[in-house]
Amino acid sequence: MANLTVWVDADSCPVGVRAMIIRFAHRLQIPAVFAANRPVPLEPPSPFIRMQISDATPDAADNYIVEHCGEDDVVVTRDIPLASRLVEKGITVLNDRGVVYTDENIRERLSLRNFNLELYENGLKGDQTGSFGKKELNLFANSFDRELQKKLKRTANKV
């Protein structure tokens, strides 16, 4: 059994991505913790899956993930500020489209996010994320599998 845990910022995670994470966790027998400030449907059921419901204060679920994840873990989130906090801790982070956040790309993503937020707050539309379909789900699946395999090899070598 690996020390690896998958942490999911479940508030905005697409249903297909949640289901894929559950299938991976069940197949590989690794725990996956879905954190949100409300219950989120998790299908199919698996003994490796846990729902962590935080209080409704801003960033409570994000803070829970940051406080509880470790270097052997993988986090899935589309929340750029959360991803930035995790990358600073040396955590492997990817979004629901399979983009792995790194020291090199997270600053650019954070700047773009802040710029778009500023546009939105001034009544303008910033870049919108496109639709989510099979292509995006496949990109996520490939990237998620690749990152899990890297982590599993590393944790196996630690034993």
- Report the range of poorest mean pLDDT among 10-19, 81-90, 126-135: 126-135
* The two structure tokens encoding residue 17: 């991505």
Which residue type does 24 have?
Answer: F
pLDDT band at 1 (very low <50, low <70, confident <90, very high): very low
Average pLDDT over residues 144-157: 91
pLDDT for 120: 64
Instruction: For residue 8, give the nearest of 117, 131, 140 by alpha carbon.
Output: 140
Please enumerate in sequence order all residues whose Cβ is within 8 A of that of 43, keeping only pairs 6 or more positions apart, or say none: 18, 19, 22
pLDDT in tens, 29-54: 999 999 999 999 998 889 999 999 99
Q: Which amino acid is at 106?
A: I
Q: Domain coordinates of the chain in residue numbers?
A: 6-102+134-158
> Alpha-carbon distance 147 to 151, whole Å?
6
Q: What is the mean pLDDT of residues 153-159?
A: 79
Residue 97 in this model has a pLDDT that exceeds 90 = yes
